[in-house]
Amino acid sequence: MCRIAGLVTNALQGDEIKQTVNAMCTVLKHGGPDDEGVYCSTDTRVVFGHRRLSIIDLSTNGHQPMADAGQKARITFNGEIYNYTELKAELQLLGAKFNTDTDTEVIIQAYLYWGTNSFSKLRGMFAFALYDTITGAVYLVRDTIGVKPLYYYVNNGQLYFASEIKAFKAAAITTEEDTRWPVWLLAFGHIPEPYTTLKNVLSIPKGHFLCWDKSGTYTITNYQKPSTVNYITDIETARLGLQTHLKTAIRRQLIADAPIGIFLSGGIDSSLLALLANEEIEQLKTISIFFNEQQYDERKYQHAVANKIAGQNFTHLVKQQDFEEAFPQILTAMDMPTTDGINSWFISKYAHQDGLKTVLSGIGADELFGGYPSFNRMKPLRHLKMLPSTLFTLIKPFSRNRYKKLAYLENNNTIADYLFLRGLYVAADIAKLTGMDEDEVKGILFDNIDIPKIDAYNKLQAAWMETNLYMQNQLLRDTDMMSMSHSLEVRVPYLDEDFQAYAAQIHPDIRFNDHQPKKILIDSFKDVLPEAVWNRPKMGFTFPLQQWMKDNREISDANNYHGKTAKKLINNFNNGRIHWSRAFALYQVQGHV
């Protein structure tokens, strides 16, 4: 697990491009404090930079950028390949020779033997740049789930890439803002892929690779193999399969040569990971957070799980004062504005303090098995979409946000449907807050993000939206940024490619349940999960941020905002009439980050 950066150019001189990549890597040091390396090709056309966080093969053999013995390929790699031992054995039968025990070298050899077809064979979370010294091609490759970030910028026939947006700024590659980002943040609470806060700095799509050829042109290609779904309709078969595939995912994601543990929140997803991981390794370490605020205290559920585990449970009290003191560091760690990630910042901080280098997280189960309220809102949404769109236009004068958001449904657009379910502000309010015309706001929201149109309005569609919009753009990115700011790797077994593929084969009628979220997951592991954990109201990994942000004068003082609409919204926040995420988004848009 690391941070990577680099460039491909025909214009800059060797010393100049090395300085640029060094500047990028320096600002990424938090994500790779254990080692650093820079590679420059003999023709000074390609420069790769690397910051290493040592997890597998802690020796100097893992130094990057890495090459094969014949110098046919060079790589700078961020992530973990969980099936690297199986691939290594397969490659050795083909004649491949290995000099290290790293998964990095497996990627190189896989490419040398299988070419770009090798990318679809990888199981894990990864973002890497690979230089083929024979053809001169450079590949930027991202995992199929999009766990690891990878951004690129093309300018004047030159390609730049990095794991974080701040690297482009630090090296003065570009600082020009994409003026649309405040609209996206106020609507979504995050910046949706492929966009960023910087103009023309974009994200490599998950499951794709960018190929930059020697002439300076590039293509972006989907390397995922198409799948056919033959639905599993027998519930017992489905449960047995989930048991097998989840245990396999956990087992291979526990592979590490550095200390590993589990985020234990007290919810179903993290509790199940902890209990199953406890069957695989001795003295499992778990990390939990608790609060003085009673309504957010999950210690009862955390203890119900921790008492079944032989290892040590590290618990940490987080108070308002901790939030106040950490707030500037949290804003810096975000990389891009977001309304999520504060919880991840704190628990990653404590995991690092407790001596861990990598942890398992429960992200992904809600999206797979219907853990969010949006799943049961699809049927009412379907009925609402049958009404004339002009009716929703009449909703705009309503002051309460829950009614205002109906105005999104006047637009026949998947993004509009998502924003009705999860959006922070409606287009009319965003226009007032940004000084834009409302039609301009709608154009930014609905014309720039290319996603499929929803017609069915069922739970599969809810799963698609939660996975590809909320989880992809917010949960995964913010978890990665916040954890790596503390030099911590976060692994996500529920997003294991094979587990995901199996879950997708389960017929929706048994995969989702109208009355109990994630019922099939719970039933598959009822002999493992304590009833106190699965038979409880859903809370999520939640902090007391409504009160903490209200008590934070920087956020809650209306005098810190400009414009009547913004001041009124902050006053409404102070009076308990709007959610903290809306106030936090507005705080960031008005120039505080």
pLDDT at position 412, please?
85
Amino acid at 60: T
Q: Choose between 76 and 543: higher pLDDT.
A: 76
Q: Which domains does the chain have, with CATH numbers?
A: 2-179+190-222 (3.60.20.10), 235-369+460-543 (3.40.50.620)
Would you state the torsion angle of the CA atoms of residues 65, 68, 73, 74, taken in this order, to the nearest 10 degrees? 0
Question: Region 171-177: what's the mean pLDDT?
Answer: 96
Does the pLDDT of residue 57 top 90, yes or no? no
Give strand ranges (E) for 255-374. 260-263, 285-290, 313-317, 358-360
Residues 341-384 have pLDDT tens digits of: 999 999 999 999 999 999 999 999 999 999 999 999 999 999 99
pLDDT at position 401, please?
61
Q: What tokens appear for 298 in the block?
A: 């999950």
pLDDT at position 335, please?
95
**Average pLDDT of every residue of the chain:** 92
pLDDT at position 541, please?
58
Confidence class for position 73, pLDDT limits 50, 70, 90:
very high
pLDDT at position 557, please?
95
Confidence class for position 293, pLDDT limits 50, 70, 90:
confident
- List the one residue out of 542, 485, 476, 488 whose CA is nearest residue 326: 485
Report how far Cα 535 is from the mean position of its chain's Cα atoms: 28
Q: What tokens appear for 309 in the block?
A: 């585990």
Cis peptide before 493 (omega within 30 of 0): no
pLDDT at position 399, please?
55
Confidence class for position 201, pLDDT limits 50, 70, 90:
very high
Confidence class for position 540, pLDDT limits 50, 70, 90:
low
CA–CA dist 338, 356 (Å, integer): 26
Q: Give Rg (Cα) of the chain.
A: 24
Buried b (16+ CB within 10 A) or exposed e, 191-210: bbbbbbbbbebbbbbbbbbb
For residue 182, give the H/E element and its range: helix 181-188
- From first CA to last CA, the distance across the chain in angstroms is 27
Q: Choose between 388 and 287: higher pLDDT.
A: 287
pLDDT at position 398, please?
62
Confidence class for position 457, pLDDT limits 50, 70, 90:
confident
Does the pLDDT of residue 538 top 80, yes or no? no
Question: Region 271-282: what's the mean pLDDT?
Answer: 95
Pairing state of beta strands 158-162 and 208-212?
A: unpaired
Residues 232-266 have pLDDT tens digits of: 999 999 999 999 999 999 999 999 888 899 999 98
Residues 295-325 have pLDDT tens digits of: 788 888 999 999 999 889 999 999 999 999 9
Non-local (6+) Cβ contacts of 429 within 8 A are: 186, 404, 565
Contact 464, 458 (CB under 8 A): no
pLDDT at position 254, please?
94
Residues 129-156 have pLDDT tens digits of: 999 999 999 999 999 999 999 999 999 9
Pairing state of beta strands 313-317 and 285-290?
A: parallel
- List the one residue out of 459, 233, 479 whose CA is nearest residue 335: 479
- List the one residue out of 8, 63, 6, 4 whose CA is nearest residue 29: 4
Q: Choose between 58 and 398: higher pLDDT.
A: 58
pLDDT at position 253, please?
96
Confidence class for position 397, pLDDT limits 50, 70, 90:
low
Query: Could you say which DSSP state residue 73 is in?
Result: E
Predicted model pTM:
0.95
What number of CA atoms fall less than 13 Å from residue 404's CA on the CB side?
16
Residues 416-446 have pLDDT tens digits of: 999 999 999 999 999 999 999 999 999 999 9
